[in-house]
């Protein structure tokens, strides 16, 4: 939601509130003893509007808005929200009463005993009234903040769907690249004469990968075990193109268990590693580590490459900018991504906080 609209929303509320207070005080003054002192009526009204009605409401409103909603209500701490809300309103009322009583002439205080210094006897009643007024304004603040948060979440989900669609399209173009697909099929075809059993296994893995990308990546989250299974099959297919058994080093540490993750979060980095690794004879040319911890999931992908311009491959696959945008939408403030590049090593470190 635009900041200008939020500001207008706040201004509109306080304008309506001010008009309401003016009407109430006008009715009160017309029927009270202050009607006999027209010369000071306006000043008395201003002082009482400021401290009796406006100050506790303003303080309660914004403490509810900036503290109570995000720290308690949004975290579904409903009972704590009620207790803290009452305390906030009561404290605002006490502060307003003290300012009203001791910083403004005490003879002008509105109370139930016709004002004056004797009005101190009604302090609990006045504080209670101000607490109720502050609580009502606080609840309005919660409604406004809730509406703004709900609206922003809808916009965020729409943006996430749009970015997810872009990611899916990019992934389909990247992962189902005809060049890669034809190479894999040709390699499997060559294996048919040498070892039909192994060729059949690779063909099944290719089928599983295509099925996973087309059908199992639709939910917002999938089991981490499924993601790892897909990565393993992808690596096995890539290793067909080299006789080097130590070309890729892939390790998983920790208990995967029932942890979930957004689909295809790691694979773009792995894909780029394969595309930019020139020498397939190197030992551990690509290193992939997934470490599952109680509080987070750590992913590391490193690949060696030839820094000579003549050996560089054209940039292809998913760009880091698109990957980072998707991560920011899926895991806002719940991930860290570090990318380092030296003369012959490119490394990616991604940490995703659980929850």
Which pLDDT does position 48 carry in this prediction? 65
Q: What is the DSSP letter of 295?
A: S
260: enclosing H helix or E strand: strand 260-261
pLDDT of residue 228: 93
pLDDT, average across residues 128-142: 90
Structure tokens at 45: 């009204």
45, 110 Cβ separation under 8 angstroms = no
Read off the pLDDT of residues 180-221 as tens digits, 9 standing for 90 and up: 677 778 878 777 878 888 888 888 888 887 788 777 777 888
Highest average pLDDT, of 138-147, 237-246, 318-327, comes from: 138-147
Q: Using one digit for the tens of pLDDT, what is the confidence trace for 254-313?
A: 998 889 998 888 988 988 888 888 787 888 899 999 999 988 999 999 998 876 654 444
Length of the chain: 355
Question: What residue ranges define each of the domains in the chain, with the CATH number in brackets?
Answer: 3-155 (no CATH), 176-353 (3.30.565.10)
pLDDT of res. 243: 80
- Distance from the Cα of residue 158 to its chain's centroid: 14
Location of structure tokens 């609206």: 151
CA separation for the pair 205, 210 (Å, rounded): 9
Identify which of 307, 254, 245, 239 has the alpha carbon closest to the alpha carbon of residue 278.
307
| CA–CA gap between residue 123 and residue 102 (Å, rounded) | 13
Residue 177 in tokens: 């690249």
Task: Report pLDDT for 194.
Answer: 81
pLDDT, tens digit (0-9, with 9 covering 90-100), for 107-129: 444 443 444 444 455 778 888 88
The residue to which tokens 């059949």 are assigned: 200
- The CA distance from 324 to 282, in Å, is 29
Question: What Å distances lie between residue 313 and 61, 79, 104, 276, 277, CA to CA?
Answer: 59, 60, 78, 6, 9
Distance of CA 81 to the CA centre of its chain: 22
User: Max alpha carbon distance in the chain (Å)?
Assistant: 111
């Amino acid at each position: 939601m635009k900041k200008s609209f939020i500001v207008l929303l706040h201004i509109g509320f306080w304008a309506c509130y001010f008009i309401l207070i003016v009407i109430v005080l006008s009715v009160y003054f017309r029927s009270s003893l202050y009607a006999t002192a027209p010369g000071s009526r306006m000043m008395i009204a201003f002082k009482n509007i400021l401290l009796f009605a406006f100050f506790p409401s303003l303080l309660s409103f914004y403490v509810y808005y900036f503290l109570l909603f995000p720290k308690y209500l949004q975290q579904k701490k409903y009972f704590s929200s009620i207790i803290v809300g009452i305390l906030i309103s009561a404290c605002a009322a006490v502060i307003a009463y003290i300012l009203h009583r001791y910083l403004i002439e005490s003879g002008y205080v509105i109370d139930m005993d016709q004002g004056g210094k004797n009005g101190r006897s009604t302090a609990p009643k006045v504080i209670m009234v101000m607490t109720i007024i502050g609580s009502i304004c606080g609840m309005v603040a919660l409604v406004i903040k809730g509406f703004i948060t709900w609206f922003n979440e809808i916009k965020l989900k729409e943006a996430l769907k749009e970015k997810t669609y872009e990611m899916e399209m990019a992934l389909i173009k990247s992962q189902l690249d005809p060049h890669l697909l034809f190479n894999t099929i040709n390699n499997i075809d060559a294996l048919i004469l040498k070892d039909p059993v192994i060729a059949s296994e690779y063909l099944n893995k290719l089928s599983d990968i295509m099925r996973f990308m087309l059908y199992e990546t639709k939910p917002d989250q999938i089991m981490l075990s499924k993601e790892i299974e897909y990565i393993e099959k992808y690596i096995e297919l890539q290793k067909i193109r080299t006789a080097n058994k130590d070309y890729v080093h892939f390790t998983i540490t920790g208990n995967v268990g029932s942890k979930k993750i957004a689909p295809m979060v790691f694979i773009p980095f792995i894909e780029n590693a394969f595309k930019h690794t020139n020498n397939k004879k190197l030992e551990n040319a690509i290193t992939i580590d997934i470490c599952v911890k109680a509080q987070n999931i750590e992913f590391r992908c490193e690949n060696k490459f030839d820094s000579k311009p003549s050996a560089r491959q054209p940039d292809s696959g998913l760009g880091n900018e698109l990957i980072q945008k998707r991560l920011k939408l899926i895991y806002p403030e719940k991930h860290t991504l570090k990318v380092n590049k030296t003369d012959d090593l490119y490394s990616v470190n991604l940490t995703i906080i659980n929850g």
